[in-house]
């Protein structure tokens, strides 16, 4: 999975295209929906955080760069959530605006506050390395919709990774103050790396349910279970960790900084366990849609 | 003569002029300007600002202070001297008799 392999996308996947396919009968199974929901929530929450930089960037140009990256990632979120929703007859907006905190499945890295610019860059670097290897692997998914979403996303993430890398180097090798802040940003985000690369609970439970069906005496008579295995469909993040370890510590050293040795948080974002900062962020994201349902402009 | 972007005390990042080539075979055309800490970031910022709608296949950036420009106040001497020199245009000349293939 860690092979640097790129395949030309056959078509550009957009949320609107997925919506059309859903009208034509496309529907994710429950377990594929759960998997896409997790990936969609990661992207949605990170995009919302990046949006907080709009009108707050250190320079107009950087404001636009972060907004641009946020919008790319929002596009990934919309595709994943539209597809996930097809499993339960829900739209992307139902999922984004009308779920409560414990129903969100994002890993905790993404919901952390933006902090200062250096902390945002630290998170974006970790996230981009993760997305880069995740989407390159997901391009080969047996699920054609997931593969197409990943194929579109991978090109965009390429640029996000470059943007974070450039800033890591500049802040790390800049002034004493910028190096200090970059180091603090890395130290603050590092505890969330282990959770990022932990197993997908939905993959584990789908595998367990398939195994239990197979071992039951009536296995032969059971029709194809809706909660089917995600084997060949989902990517196991644990398999991507080696790539992170090969890339990120080296970059940090090139930036003249120290690879953090912090411990890890307990995690559990994929199970609906979130950190303190998530609630207020969610409230801000959802308030308009909840007070004025169906509002458009 | 001051270069564009040299003024203003609050300005911290230098100004860059951006040139975008829209397709192969055409030349780079001035698209606008932006601020960036160095040339590497200037190219990236230019990509974000000026190629959002598939405008380009290539981007150049030049530090604005490296551009030497003509003096906007010297318009007369600089740009009005060709007036009345119509013979510099091909259209000034009439076709000579007996020349084939013109």
- Which of B12, B37, B52 minimises the CB distance to A170? B37
CATH superfamily of B15-72: Phenylacetic acid degradation B (3.10.20.520)
**Angle made by CA atoms A184, A186, A192, in degrees to the nearest 5:** 125
Per residue, what are the HEC states of A169-227?
Answer: HHHHCCCHHHHHHHHHHHHHHHHHHHHHCCCCHHHHHHHHHHHHHHHCCCHHHCCCCCC
Both tokens of A238, joined, read 């644990």
Instruction: Write down the pLDDT at residue B101.
Output: 79
DSSP annotation of A145: H
Cβ proximity of A37 and A234 under 8 Å: no
The CA distance from A265 to A269, in Å, is 11
Interchain CB distance below 8 Å, B44 and A162: yes
Mean pLDDT for the stretch of residues B26-31? 93
Length of chain B: 102
Which chain B positions have a beta carbon within 8 Å of A60's beta carbon? 35
CA contacts within 13 A on the Cβ side of A247: 18
Q: Where are the domains of chain A?
A: 15-213+230-291
pLDDT tens digits, chain A, 297 residues: what are they? 333 444 434 468 899 999 999 999 999 999 999 999 999 999 999 999 999 999 998 888 999 999 999 999 999 999 999 999 999 999 999 999 999 999 999 999 999 999 999 999 999 999 999 999 999 999 999 999 999 999 999 999 999 999 999 999 999 999 999 999 999 999 999 999 999 999 999 988 887 777 766 665 444 444 444 457 899 999 999 999 999 999 999 999 999 999 999 999 999 999 999 999 999 999 999 999 999 988 887
Give strand pairing partners of B18: B32, B61
A175 Cβ under 8 Å from any chain B Cβ:
no
A177 Cβ under 8 Å from any chain B Cβ:
no
**Does residue B39 register a pLDDT over 90?**
yes
Report the residue of A61, A63, A69, A174 to disrupt the B interface, i.e. the one with the largest count of B CBs within 10 Å: A61
Cβ proximity of A188 and A118 under 8 Å: no
Cβ proximity of A67 and A47 under 8 Å: no
Of A31, A48, A38, nearest to A270 (Cα)? Answer: A38
Residue A131 to residues A13, A29, A183, Cα–Cα distance (Å): 17, 23, 22
Both tokens of A254, joined, read 């090139």
Chain B positions touching chain A (beta carbons under 8 Å):
12-13, 34-38, 40-41, 44-45, 47-49, 52
Interchain CB distance below 8 Å, B34 and A163: no
Instruction: Write down the pLDDT at residue A215.
Output: 63
C-alpha distance from A178 to closest chain B C-alpha (Å): 14
Cβ proximity of A146 and A36 under 8 Å: yes
Both tokens of A19, joined, read 């919506």
The CA distance from B66 to B72, in Å, is 17
A25: left (phi over 0), alpha (psi -120 to 50) or beta: left
Which chain B positions have a beta carbon within 8 Å of A59's beta carbon? 12-13, 35
The CA distance from A160 to A51, in Å, is 15
Mean pLDDT for the stretch of residues B13-22? 94
Which chain B positions have a beta carbon within 8 Å of A65's beta carbon? 44-45, 48
Which chain B positions have a beta carbon within 8 Å of A57's beta carbon? none
Instruction: Write down the pLDDT at residue A1.
Output: 37
Please provide the distance, in angstroms rounded to a whole number, between the alpha carbons at the two ends of chain A: 43
Residues near B92 by Cβ (< 8 Å), separated by ≥ 6? B86
Instruction: Write down the pLDDT at residue A7.
Output: 40
Give the class (CATH, top level) of A15-213+230-291. Answer: mainly alpha
Which A residues 126-165 touch B at CB under 8 Å?
159, 162-163
Of A205, A10, A21, nearest to A105 (Cα)? Answer: A205
Cβ proximity of A117 and A58 under 8 Å: yes
Residues near A29 by Cβ (< 8 Å), separated by ≥ 6? A87, A226, A227, A228
Host H or E run for residue B29? strand B29-35
Both tokens of A240, joined, read 């991507």
Instruction: Write down the pLDDT at residue A162.
Output: 96
- Which of A64, A163, A170 minimises the CB distance to B49? A64
DSSP SS3 for A79: helix
pLDDT tens digits for range B53-101: 888 899 999 999 999 988 878 777 778 888 888 888 888 888 788 888 7
Residue in chain A closest to B47 (alpha carbons) equals A65
């Amino acid at each position: 999975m860690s092979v640097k392999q790129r395949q030309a996308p056959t078509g550009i996947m957009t949320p609107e295209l997925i919506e059309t396919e859903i009208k034509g009968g496309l529907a994710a199974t429950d377990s594929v929906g759960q998997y896409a929901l997790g990936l969609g929530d990661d992207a949605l929450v990170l995009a919302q955080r990046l949006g907080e930089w709009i009108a707050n960037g250190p320079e107009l140009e950087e404001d636009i760069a972060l907004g641009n990256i946020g919008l790319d990632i929002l596009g990934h979120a919309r595709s994943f959530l539209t597809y996930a929703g097809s499993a339960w007859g829900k739209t992307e907006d139902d999922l984004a605006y009308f779920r409560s905190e414990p129903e969100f499945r994002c890993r905790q890295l993404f919901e952390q506050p933006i902090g200062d610019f250096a902390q945002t860059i630290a998170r974006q670097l970790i996230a981009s390395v993760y997305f880069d290897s995740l989407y390159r692997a997901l391009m080969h998914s047996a699920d054609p919709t997931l593969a197409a979403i990943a194929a579109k996303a991978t090109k965009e993430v390429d640029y996000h990774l470059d943007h974070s890398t450039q800033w890591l180097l500049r802040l790390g090798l800049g002034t004493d103050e910028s190096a200090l802040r970059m180091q603090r940003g890395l130290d603050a985000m590092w505890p969330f790396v282990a959770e990022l690369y932990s197993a997908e609970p939905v993959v584990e439970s789908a595998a367990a349910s398939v195994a239990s069906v197979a071992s039951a005496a009536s296995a032969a008579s059971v029709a194809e279970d809706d909660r089917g295995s995600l084997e060949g469909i989902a990517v196991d993040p644990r398999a991507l960790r080696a790539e992170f370890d090969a890339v990120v510590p080296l970059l940090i050293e090139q930036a003249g900084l120290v690879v953090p040795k912090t411990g890890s948080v307990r995690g559990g974002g994929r199970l609906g366990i979130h950190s303190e900062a998530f609630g207020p962020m969610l409230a801000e994201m959802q308030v308009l849609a909840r007070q004025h349902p169906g509002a458009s402009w | 003569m001051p270069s564009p972007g040299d003024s203003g005390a609050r300005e911290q990042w230098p100004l860059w002029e951006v040139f975008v080539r829209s397709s192969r075979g055409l030349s780079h055309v001035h698209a606008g300007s932006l601020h960036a800490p160095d040339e590497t970031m200037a190219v990236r910022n230019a990509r974000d600002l000026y190629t959002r709608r598939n405008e380009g296949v290539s981007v150049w950036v030049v530090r604005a202070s490296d551009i030497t420009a003509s003096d906007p106040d010297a318009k007369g001497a600089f740009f009005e001297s060709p007036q009345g020199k119509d013979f510099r245009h091909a259209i000034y000349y009439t076709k000579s008799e007996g020349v084939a293939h013109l």
